[in-house]
A and B are shown apart, each in its own frame.
Chain A
Amino acid sequence: MIGGFFDDVPYRGLVLLGVLLAFMLIAPLFAGDYLLTILIVVLYFAYTGLAWNIMMGFVGQLSLGHALYVGLGAYTAAALYVHFDIGPWIGLLAAVPVAMLAGAFIGYLAFRFRIGGVYFAILTIAVAEFARIGFDHLSWTNGSSGLFLPVKQYTQNDLWHMRGNPAMFYYILLAATALALVGCRVFLQSRVGYLWLAIREDEEAARSLGIDTFRYKLLAVVVSAGMTAFAGVFYAFYYNNLFPEQVFSISRSIEIILAPIIGGVGTLFGTIVGVVVYEIFAEGLRFALAAFGWDVPGVRQLVFGLLLLIVVVTLPEGVWPWLARKLGLTERKS
């Protein structure tokens, strides 16, 4: 299995991946706080994008409510920490199953009646919105006034309680993203991965071959939800404050899916490329708007909407497949 792990990745692609990993590993040594913060955001969206991609890219199920899993993960771990002093890694053991249950609920509801495509997408938004309003009224997590994690002055990094400087958070997320990338690759090359792709390409045909499509679609939602929950736990301990309006909002869900869609749905490296393209553009825009004094509320998002429009119209399959062809990084033919 491991022997065939890199089989169809071109050599130049492997070198590129190695250089990228080396750069990411040493980045905190020279990066200032500002750059490090941006890199953390990049990794965060790369990680959530990879998780989302399992549903959309592998099985073809469009989720527009991934903020739900982030929010459930974040709130579960944060509430356990605030109320019972339970650390994030133990909290993760509760946060992941909670998100998985929510995913299983949505998947069960939708796939039992073969609700697919757009209707499935609406259902995911509806449940996320339900959770947003629900948490607004849940007094155990302080409702709409927000849940705050105690921030103490720290003298050294405490990995076990996820209290420390940005570099520590950076390495946690880098490890998670690398693990997610490898995990997705393993999934893709396993029996389950092939079944997923079969369902994505033609669900009717897959079913006629005797594949239990309900079960494998459900599995994809549950895996994706569980993965996303970790991002939520990270979010809670990195930002130290949670508001239902922010964590569960539709715009959070859309942010998650932008990177994989800009980069190219269904490709693993595309998600990474997508998030880098997105962040470079977003930061560049911020500087440009500040320099020209046009930083009126709305202008940034307006330009961003226009960029999205241009990308969707001109590069329908995403930036990465196009870039890969330009760089001669298409799959090895052997």
Chain B
Amino acid sequence: MPADIYLNVAVGGVLTGLVYGLMALGLSVIFGVVRVVNFAHGEMMTIAMYIAVTLFTAFHLDPLVMMVPIAAVLFVFGYTLQAGLINFFITRPEHSQFLLLIAVAIIITNMLLILFGPDSQNVQTAYAYESFQIGTLIVDATKVYAALAALVVAASLFGLFRFTLLGTAIRACADNYTGAMVVGLDVKRLYALTFGIGAACVGAAGCMLLLLFDVTPEVGPAYTLLAFVIVITGGLGSMPGALIGGVLIGLTEAMAGLLFSPSAKSMFAFAFLVLVLLFRPQGIMGKRAA
């Protein structure tokens, strides 16, 4: 029954897409506030994936359970990176910032390569082969858990930005840098916190993604690029846009993998980006520039 296969693959793609969305959300938050392009985003995620894989192999700790401490580690990493390095580059030209983060990305990738070797690693959880069945629809349990976790993290992030004083202060920095300084906000510190939050986001996403895919030291750049495609597709500066973009890209990849070949799936994600740029350049949820 082909119709069932399409539906199954589509649902799987949407669930994976939610995790992609969380990863992209981290990038969107960093770019939306600090205005620095985190070209080491995927590489930061591989750090989280390696921590998770190590904890799993050594102590059988489930990546979803370890998500919070790992996100905390990434928060510290992101905070330190922004406070110690990127804050000095805020006023530098874009290509200079880009090069700085490329250097960070190269350093991360090769540190991981030296520490863990080039072979791919993964986790085999007890629920790896479980699935839920609703009528003719069969969904991997792993994907459901990962997507639920992504939704919880994304929801707490929305809450943080919407309802807390810290979130309001960070949004103020994003809206008006000078204005935020005038009213006495410590912008540099808030930038560091924001970068930390973005890093924590991608750290959590890494834990979820590890349940779905293998990790090698070299996967970083592909995920960085994927996060960018999602953010631009969804609309820059829009938090719901990042999630929606993630779902659309996840769906596109899954369908392309089914209809053509899994190895060609990211090609369709890029084609999708080109279509968005052609017909809706501000992104799906983005506001048209004046």
Contacts and interface: CB of A to CB of B under 8 A. Distances in A.
Given A129-B266, A130-B274, 4 more contacts: A125-B228, A129-B225, A133-B270, A298-B113
Interface in B81-104: 85, 88, 92, 94-96, 98-100, 102-104
Interface string A279-297: 0000000000000000011
11 contacts: A113-B277, A118-B31, A121-B98, A122-B228, A126-B229, A250-B225, A298-B217, A302-B114, A305-B105, A309-B107, A313-B85
Contacts of B106: 301-302, 304-305, 308
Contact of A133 (B94, B104, B118, B264): B264
Interface in A292-334: 296-299, 301-302, 304-306, 308-309, 312-313, 316
A133 B257 CA distance: 13
Contacts of A129: 225, 266-267, 270
Interface of B: 31, 37, 85, 88, 92, 94-96, 98-100, 102-107, 109-111, 113-114, 118, 217, 221, 225, 228-229, 232, 236, 261, 263-264, 266-267, 270-271, 273-274, 277-278, 281, 289
B99 A261 contact: yes
Nearest first, the 10 A-B pairs at minimum CB distance are A305-B106, A298-B113, A113-B281, A302-B110, A305-B107, A133-B267, A298-B110, A309-B103, A308-B103, A130-B270
A254 interface: yes
Contacts of A62: 94-95, 98
A265 B95 CA distance: 9
B37 A312 contact: no
A251, A261, A305 — which one has the most chain B CB atoms within 10 A of its CB? A305
Contacts of A299: 110, 114
Contacts of A121: 37, 98
Contact of A297 (B113, B221, B236, B271): B113
Interface of B is mostly: helix
Given A113-B277, A118-B94, A137-B264, A125 B107 contact: no
Contacts of A194: none
Name the interface size band of chain A: 35 or more
A115 interface: yes
A18 interface: no
Given A62-B98, A261-B99, A308-B106, A130 B271 contact: yes
A78 B214 CA distance: 35
Given A117-B94, A309-B107, A126 B102 contact: no
B31, B104, B277 — which one has the most chain A CB atoms within 10 A of its CB? B277
B231 to A, nearest CB: 9
A110 B274 CA distance: 10
